[in-house]
Structure 1
């Protein structure tokens, strides 16, 4: 059975390993044990947690994504396994030798699916989506006309009332979106590494200061799922400037939600693996059609 648990650590504590279980020991409270094989992600929100090297090693072995957080409690770092794939060198050479035309084809497919999913999300919340339906069929190689940005402007205006998407803004919706995207981004990076890919080398994103360029490419079709959860939290009046544990838990649990892939409903954490595997296959065959991307269920 696939791992499914997400661990949010908010209290000062010690994290250690015993009998292949994570031992969570808050100060002056009883210990809690969780089998490592059940864990997908660990978020260390407190800066007063100590962790043993034995546990760190097994987190890498079990391919668990572990996040640290900044002073605003937003994930700012991700601990991922180091080059576990047996054919890392072969895959790395194929990836870094990727030609520009193939990169542009990958980006066209990714953005087409992102806009398709944004349109489906508008429809899900009974919002007018014809403007995005028209755009999704017009994306060219490399998104040369930057329809992603045009679709985003229309999407945010329709999806949230009187809202501007700003990564640096400290309003509740932007904070929640940043948190959710960071969690999903880490899960994508975890899967890329597991399949021998180098997250630094993207198909569109190419910043020399970004260790996760490829993850930032591959996350795009998944973003509307984060938007959906934040929208529901807004409708339920759950959002606040200081996000509570229930909101953070809902955002972390996005990894266990389902999207549609290969005519099946699949959890997002499994979709990350499928996307990574299919990306490797597409690289090996020099054929973007092998890349599998999810739809809104």
Structure 2
């Protein structure tokens, strides 16, 4: 999937002679080519014409608007989506009957396994035995979750919290001092936590699109509490991709990553740098436990959304995304 990221203030999207273009403040003109699948707008000072919106909708190009923290607050979809009714009826029935807890367990089990995989992967490059050992400790928590019986939402989140404390303790030790990272805190104003927030926001937009195109309702989840305006299923689904899609590339790039915070916000250049790192990783190929071939992370996300939809629609067994590194 080809994505264009627009963060430069003063840019505008307009339609001319049957095509859409981006005009930047310094006079550059960029054509939206037929291979573009998504446009992400990351500044409130980017303009778009109604004619360009019509063109992009007709061509099926996804337009996502992010807030200053990277969270998607609006998007443009095609007006129809295949297999919506049967899939959503199945989703509502299974979640309301209590079967959603098995999906919640699978999603968090996969997340914790991916956290463990990342720690062991980072241990190889750093040659730190303690980091590898911590990876096995996190993996043991995942195993305990997998074998646990009579689970409810609170118990699943307890396993998740236990693993996360160990995981973020390890990650914090790898991040340079100048980024001020002491542990994961979404409300913290240190540069690395803000970079993580921004990266997760981009990932939310990719995962929500995959869920909607698979026919699922992103607002009725299995773990996060349903709340008006809250895309609970998106928040659930994104969990198993966070360690590989966002944490991995940002940790690896942290020693070279320049992040500037102005007025408690990432500046436009920092947003652009983070987006480039994240989008490049989403295009990178990975192997997972479900199929014996490499696919881009975006392809894995789409495949997982369709597999989850199949579970809700047909009752087939669902296994989450667990990466091989």
TM-score by length of 2: 0.81
Aligned to 2:176: none
CA distance in 2, matches of 1:25, 1:68: 17
Contact 1:75 1:182 in 2 (8 A): yes
CA distance in 2, matches of 1:55, 1:282: 37
CA distance in 2, matches of 1:149, 1:61: 44
Aligned to 2:128: none
Structure 1, unmatched stretches of 5+, are none
Structure 2, unmatched stretches of 5+, are 124-130, 174-180
Give the count of matched residue pairs. Answer: 292
In structure 1, the residue corresponding to 2:226 is in which secondary structure? coil
**Structure 1 position 27, deviation (Å):** 3.6
Aligned to 1:256: 283
1:177 is aligned to 2:196: yes
CA distance 1:78–1:62, shift in 2 (3 Å): farther
Aligned to 1:88: 84
CA distance 1:4–1:279, shift in 2 (3 Å): same
Aligned to 1:98: 94
CA distance in 2, matches of 1:22, 1:7: 15
Contact 2:114 2:243 in 1 (8 A): yes
Aligned to 1:293: 321
> Which of 224, 233, 252 pairs up with 2:253?
233
CA distance 1:234–1:27, shift in 2 (3 Å): closer
Q: Residues 19-168 of structure 1 correspond to what in structure 2 (within 5 A)? A: 21-27=19-25, 29-35=27-33, 37-70=34-67, 72=68, 74-81=70-77, 84-99=80-95, 100-126=97-123, 127-128=131-132, 129-139=135-145, 140=148, 141-142=151-152, 144-145=155-156, 146-161=158-173, 163-168=182-187
Contact 1:42 1:66 in 2 (8 A): yes
Contact 2:11 2:23 in 1 (8 A): yes
Q: 1:135-156 CA deviation, whole Å, 9 max, x = no partner?
A: 1111134462520111001100
CA distance in 2, matches of 1:295, 1:62: 33
Q: Residues 193-204 of structure 1 correspond to what in structure 2 (within 5 A)? A: 193-204=212-223
Once the two structures are overlaid, the 10-residue window that deviates more, 222-231 or 200-209, is 200-209
**Structure 1 position 211, deviation (Å):** 3.4
Once the two structures are overlaid, the 10-residue window that deviates more, 79-88 or 272-281, is 79-88
In structure 2, the residue corresponding to 1:48 is in which secondary structure? coil
Contact 1:15 1:50 in 2 (8 A): yes
1:14 is aligned to 2:33: no
CA distance 1:190–1:235, shift in 2 (3 Å): same
Contact 1:80 1:193 in 2 (8 A): no
Q: Alpha carbon RMSD of aligned pairs, Å?
A: 2.4
CA distance in 2, matches of 1:164, 1:247: 19
**Structure 1 position 294, deviation (Å):** 4.1
Contact 1:45 1:73 in 2 (8 A): no
Contact 1:156 1:165 in 2 (8 A): yes
> Which of 228, 233, 239 pairs up with 1:209?
228
